[in-house]
Chain A
Amino acid sequence: MKPLLAISFSSLANSFHQWLTAMFANDMAVMVTEMVVVGISLIVFLVLLSFFLGYMERKVAAFMQIRLGPNRVGPKGSLQIVADTVKLLFKEGLTPDNADKFLFNLAPFIMVITSMLVVAPIAFARDFQIWDISIGVLYVSSVSSITVIGILMAGWSSNNKYSLLGAMRSGAQIVSYELSIGLSLISIVVLSGSLSLGDIVNSQVNGWWIFKGHIPVVIAFIVFIIASTAEINRAPFDMAEAEQELTAGFHTEYAGMKFAMFLLSEYINLFVVSAIAATIFLGGWMPLHIGNWQAFNQAMDYIPSSLWFFGKTFTIIFIIMWFRWTFPRLRVDQLLNLEWKYLLPISMVNVILVTVMAIMGWHF
C-alpha cells in the first residue's frame, strides 16, 4: 500500500523531469534547472514554515500562560505573522556609525544561508529526499556549526557591549554543546552503520531506534534534545540574547529586514534540529509498526509518510517550545557546567554502552 502524498510528490517530480528533458537537449542544463527549481521551492517552503513556527510559538506561549495570544489579524490571529513581516519590510534598515559596515551586513547572509543549506539532506517523505548524500550526518553537524561564525560576526561588528557579550556567551555555548550532539549522533551511526540519513531511516523499518535501542538510545535522545536546544540558542539556554540583561544580545543593533533574517534562521534551525532528531531517533517518515500486529501495521501504513515525518517533527518542536515556559534561564557558568561536567561524560560513556550493545546484539 503506497501513501497518497508521496505518490503525488514523486509523480510531479517525474513529469517535470520529462518536460525539462524535452525542452533541453543538454543533460547538464536539465540538471541545473532542476536544482534551481528545487532550491527556490525549498526557500519558499522554509519561509512559509517559519511563518507557521512564529505563529505556533506565540500560540503555544499563550496556551502555557492561559491567555489568547494573537487573535485580531485573520482567523484566530493566523495572519498576524504576515502583518508583522509586512511591517518589517517597510522598516528602515540601519547600520550604526560605529559598526564594521561590511561584517555587520554580511552576518545575516551567513546565518540564513547556513540554516537553509542544512535542510538539504533531510528525508521529508518516502522517496522524497532532496539530497541523499553518503555523509549526511557529518554534513549536517559540520554545516550547522558555521552558524556560530555568523553570531560572533554580528556581535563583534556591532561595536556594542551587549552584542559582544552575547556573542561571546553564544560562541562558548554552541561549540560546547556541539560535542554532545556529535556523540549522540555517533551512537546511532554505530547501530545503523551508515552516515546517510536515507540509510538511517531505512534501518528503522522494523522499529524506530528509540524502541529498538533500549536505554542507551533513550539517553542519547535526551542528550540530543537538551544539547540541540542549547545549540539553537533557545530558552532556557538563551544566554546569547537574554532579553532582560543583554537587550537581545548579538542582534541588538539590527533593525528591519536584517533583524528578520536572524529570526528566519532561528526558526529554520529549530525545524532542522527537530527534523534531525525525528529522523535519527524516531524513524523519520517510517510509520509506527508493532511486531506482528498485521492489521495495526497496515492501518499505520495508510497514513502518508510525510504526515508521519511532520507529526514527529512538530511534536519535538512543541516540546522545545514547552521548555521555554518551564525552565528559568541558566547562568553562563551553570550552562557550561551542565555540558562539560554532565552531558559530555554521560554521552561518552553512552557511546561505549551502545557499542557493547551492538557487539552483543542486544538490540533487535
Chain B
Amino acid sequence: MSNTDYLLIFIQFIVAGGFVTLVLFVTHFLGPKRKTSDKLETFECGIESQGNARLPFSIKYFLTAILFVLFDVEVIFLYPWAVNFKEFSSTNMSGFISMSIFMGLLLLGFIYIIKKGALKWE
C-alpha cells in the first residue's frame, strides 16, 4: 500500500467540497435577498428570544462523552487483534486467553461504572 492509494480519497474530498461550494454559491444568486431584522432573529416558537442560547448543559452528556472515549479506545485495540486472531490461535490458545483477560477487565470497568451510577439519569 503506497501513498498514492490515499490520493483517491483526497481527490474525492476536494470534489465533494467543490460540489457543496458550487451548489451553495449558485443558490446564493438564485434566491431572493430580503433581509429583515425579524427574519434574522433566532427562532423561538414565535416569542421574542430570551437571553443567550449557550446555557450550561447537563453534566451527563459530558460524562457519556468521557465514557465513550474510554471504551472506544479499547474497541480500537481490538481491531488489530481481530485481524491477526487466526495466526495467534493456530498453535495455542494464547491469543484467545489474552483477549479474554482484556475483555474481562473491560467488563469489570463496565460493571464498576454501572454500580457507581454513572449512567443513572435522575
Contacts and interface: CB of A to CB of B under 8 A. Distances in A.
A256 B79 CA distance: 41
B93 to A, nearest CB: 7
A202 interface: no
Contact of A90 (B12, B17, B20, B31): B31
Contact of A160 (B26, B42, B64, B103): B42
Interface in A13-42: 31-32, 35-36, 38-40, 42
A97 B40 CA distance: 5
Interface string A87-114: 0111111111111000001001100110
A348 B44 contact: no
Question: What secondary structure prevails in chain B residues at the interface with A?
Answer: helix
B48 interface: no
Given A43-B16, A89-B30, A168-B61, A193 B86 contact: yes
A39 B76 CA distance: 29
B44 A179 contact: no
Interface in A146-176: 156, 158-165, 168-169, 171-172, 175-176
Contact of A108 (B24, B57, B79, B122): B24
Interface stretch (A49-57, A218-226, A338-346): A338-346
Given A35-B12, A40-B15, A93-B31, A344 B71 contact: yes
A108 B48 CA distance: 27
A344 B110 contact: yes
Given A43-B19, A160-B44, A189-B82, A90 B72 contact: no
Interface residues of A, number: 82
A340 B119 CA distance: 8
A290 interface: no
A333 to B, nearest CB: 3
A108 B11 contact: no
Question: What secondary structure prevails in chain A residues at the interface with B?
Answer: helix
Among A38, A168, A247, A258, chain B packs the most CB atoms within 10 A around the CB of A168
A256 B68 CA distance: 35
Interface string B39-59: 111111100010011110110
Contacts of B44: 160-162
A134 B41 CA distance: 49
A98 B49 CA distance: 11
Contact of A158 (B40, B42, B79): B42
Interface string B8-26: 1101111111011101101
Contacts, number: 204
Contact of A355 (B27, B39, B61, B85): B85
A241 interface: no
B15 A36 contact: yes
A163 B53 CA distance: 9
A186 interface: yes
A89 B27 contact: yes
B85 A36 contact: no
Given A131-B9, A186-B82, A93 B27 contact: yes
Contact of B83 (A113, A179, A193, A351): A193
Contact of B43 (A43, A138, A253, A351): A253
Contact of A348 (B19, B83, B106): B106
A159 B61 contact: no
A280 interface: no
Nearest to B15: A39
Contacts of B58: 168
Contact of A351 (B23, B39, B78): B78
A97 B41 contact: yes
A336 B31 contact: no
25 contacts: A32-B11, A36-B15, A39-B11, A39-B15, A40-B15, A96-B41, A109-B20, A120-B8, A134-B1, A158-B42, A160-B44, A164-B54, A169-B61, A171-B65, A178-B72, A179-B68, A189-B79, A257-B27, A261-B23, A337-B119, A345-B107, A345-B110, A348-B103, A355-B96, A356-B96
Interface of A: 31-32, 35-36, 38-40, 42-43, 88-99, 105, 108-109, 112-113, 116-117, 120, 130-131, 133-134, 137-138, 156, 158-165, 168-169, 171-172, 175-176, 178-179, 182-183, 186, 189-190, 193-195, 247, 252-253, 256-258, 261, 332-333, 336-337, 340-341, 344-345, 348, 351-352, 355-356, 358-359
Q: Would you list the 9 A-B pairs with minimal beta carbon distance, nearest first?
A: A333-B121, A39-B15, A175-B68, A257-B27, A189-B82, A116-B16, A182-B75, A97-B40, A92-B31
